[in-house]
Amino acid sequence: MDIIFIDELRLSTLVGIYPREKAMPQTIELSLQIGTPTARAGASDAIGDTIDYAAVVDRLRRELAERHFNLLEKLAEYVAELLLKDFGASWVRVSIAKIGMLRGVRRVGVIIERTASA
C-alpha cells in the first residue's frame, strides 16, 4: 500500500458545542494519511492511478466551510468516510486539532484510523 499524506492543512469550519463555536468559524488543523488501493501510480506516472491530493484539499475546503459539527470526533469520521467512499482510499488516518482553544495548550484534537469495507 502506498500512503499519500497531507500535513497541517488549515481550514475554517464551525465545530464545537459552545454558543460562540456555533456562531463563528474557527481554524482547525488537519493532517491526513491516505492509503491508496494500489501502487500503480509509481509505474504509470498517471494521476488517474492514485488519489489526487489537490482534489482532496479542494473538496475538504468546500465541504467543511458549509457544515457544523459538535465534536471533533464526528468531524474526523466525516472526513474519513469522504476519503474512503468518494476518493477510494483503502485506509485513512485523520488527525484534527483545534488551535489555541485552551489557555496554555497549543492544540487539542483527535486522531482516528479507518479501513474501507470489503
- Domain positions in the chain: 2-115
pLDDT tens string 73-116: 999 999 999 999 999 999 999 999 998 777 888 889 999 999 99
Q: Which three cell numbers stand for residue 57?
A: 484539499
Q: Is 6 exposed, middle or buried (0-12, 13-18, 19+ CB in 10 A)?
A: middle
Active-site residue, from 22, 74, 85, 98: 98
More confident residue, 64 or 104: 64
- Residue 22 catalytic? no
DSSP string, the chain: -EEEEEEEEEEEEEE-SSHHHHHS-EEEEEEEEEEES--HHHHH--GGGS--HHHHHHHHHHHHHT-EESSHHHHHHHHHHHHHHTS--SEEEEEEEEEEEETTEEEEEEEEEEE---
pLDDT tens for 14-38 read 999 989 889 999 999 999 999 997 7
What region does 76 belong to: left with phi over 0, alpha with psi -120 to 50, or beta?
A: alpha
* Topology given in CATH for the domain delimited by 2-115: GTP Cyclohydrolase I, domain 2 (3.30.1130)
Model confidence at 5, pLDDT cuts 50, 70, 90, reads: very high
pLDDT, position 103: 84
At residue 57, the pLDDT reads 98
Tell which residue, 113, 49, 111, has the closest CA to residue 83.
Answer: 113
pLDDT confidence of residue 118:
62
How high is the pLDDT of residue 95?
98
